[in-house]
Amino acid sequence: MLNLRRPLLTKGLKISAIKYTRGLSGVAQSEPAQPEIKTSVPGPKTKALLKDLSSLQQADSVQLFADYDKCFGNYFVDADGNTFLDAFTQISSIPIGYNHPELLKAFNEEHALRSLINRPALGVFPGSDWPQKLRSVLMEVAPSGLNGVATMMCGSCSNENAFKTVFMWYRKKERCGKIDFTEEEMTSCMDNRPPGAPKLSILSFKGAFHGRTFGALSTTRSKPIHKLDCPAFDWPVAPFPRYKYPLEENQRENDKEDERCLEQVADVIENYKKKANPVAGVIVEPIQSEGGDHEASPAFFQKLQKICNQNGVALIVDEVQTGCGPTGRMWCYQHFDLPSPPDVVTFSKKMLTGGFYFNVETKPSHPYRVFNTWMGDPGKLILLEKVLNVIKNEKLLENVNETGTVLKCGLHELEKEFPNLVNSVRGRGTFLAFNSCTTECRDKINADLKKNGVLGGVCGEFAIRLRPALVFRKKHAEIYLDILRKTLKAI
């Protein structure tokens, strides 16, 4: 058990650092032993840079400017020279820490460098090694039972093109497998009318976040600011479970919450069928992230999949945040013991490239239907290959589970010590969150953590979320917990 009452780890801390490496500059680099705050947060250089950037664009979302030459491992160094333990990692998108030596040398080999600089239009002129690269990198970690993959640029466009794939699959079923189009379909689609532009929908959940591009935005339900002023499709929404914690003390109520939500999913699918706007796909996050780190039970997901199968609806699992190991499994849905794989699994962030897995039997029958100029980036697969090798060689999924246990146990102890400030500790692996009593209190805790040298993130109304890299070890967990305790004690 962690001793959470010991003094804050500050000067003189004796913690072994990650072994240093020499990057492209030849300068030795090693992970700091602890955070170090030298100025106010944000500091004067950051404020000046923000003023400069704001003269060019809307930049009010910017928190800090980084010195990425100095960031290393689990530590983020800002423009003012302040060093932070990073438990947020670029919104959950840094898989193995900053400036990992394996990634720094990824393009030392000439063929890799040429693949990077001659960025091809992959849908038209892929490199001769592209099929092999897809098989040896992305298909090596593909969800079991899915034998196809399409690469994309980001999480939003991964979801967008997953929707398109599902709609095309659904319409092909309605045509009894025919792949030719009628003249009426081809003409009407150009005027955005049925039958060429059919009335079909994607069901998502309250609190969901699936992206900010136009189609994805109609499935995003986390915050009004994302959606205001943008026209939206008539696509349905259903409630996602909101559990009471601790889970073991509220199982009966949480089981009822599962049933309540699932009943409404089935009702919504039936109602949209009656209003001639049938649901072709259901998209769901294994853990709702931006919306507040809400989780659901394996039983919920098993029954959700059953409802989809009964109604001929595709199940799309959005693993943009949860994919590539932060929950202790390569894919979070693997915790749910589904009897068969989801129909589509989307990914991005820690996977470095965007994209989605599917079964090739459901791929569009015609070219250019799921297509854009770049269709991803070969350079990202070169980096991802290095990342996956590090995950395997350093047994990072095991590390995530071990570190996650330390973090979660420590958070539960703080929950007992500060019940007026911390509650509802939850999550899997190091993909964790806790709530505070009010939004204002939550925001103060997060801001004070930053002043004390820890970067974290907020989500939903009350939650602080942890999104560390896979190389976040037990020693980093102890530093995080010590600083969090100091922060809570001062409120």
Catalytic residues: 209, 318, 349, 373
The helix (run of H) or strand (run of E) holding residue 131 is: helix 130-133
DSSP character at residue 137: I
Identify any residues that bridge with 457 across adjacent strands, giving them in sequence order: 465
Closest CA to 86 of 417, 458, 378, 476: 476
Q: What's CA 188's distance to the chain center, in Å? A: 37
What is the distance between the alpha carbons of residues 253 and 381, in angstroms, rounded to a whole number?
44
Contact 217, 295 (CB under 8 A): no
Using CA atoms, how far apart are residues 197 and 165, in angstroms rounded to an integer? 14
Task: Give the bridge partners for 237, in sequence order.
Answer: 204
**What DSSP character marks residue 19?**
P
Three-class DSSP labels, 235-271? CCEECCCCCCCCHHHCHHHHHHHHHHHHHHHHHHHHH
End-to-end CA distance of the chain: 25
Which helix (H) or strand (E) segment holds residue 431: the answer is strand 431-435
| Residue 429: C-alpha distances to residues 90, 265, 403, 477 (Å) | 18, 28, 7, 12
User: Do residues 98 and 68 make contact, with C-beta atoms less than 8 angstroms apart?
Assistant: yes
CB atoms under 10 Å from CB of 443, counted, come to 14
Tell me how far apart the alpha carbons of residues 186 and 189 are, in angstroms, rounded to a whole number. Answer: 6
Rg (CA), the chain: 23
DSSP helix/strand/coil, 334: helix
Q: In this structure, are residues 166 and 219 in contact, taking their beta carbons and an 8 Å threshold?
A: no
Cα–Cα distance for residue pair 350/484, rounded to 1 Å: 25
Element of type H or E holding 202: strand 201-205
Whether the Cβ atoms of residue 418 and residue 484 lie closer than 8 Å to each other: no
Which residues, at least 6 apart from 391, have a Cβ–Cβ distance to it below 8 Å? 95, 96, 324, 325, 397, 470
Q: Is the peptide bond before 195 cis (omega within 30 degrees of 0)?
A: yes
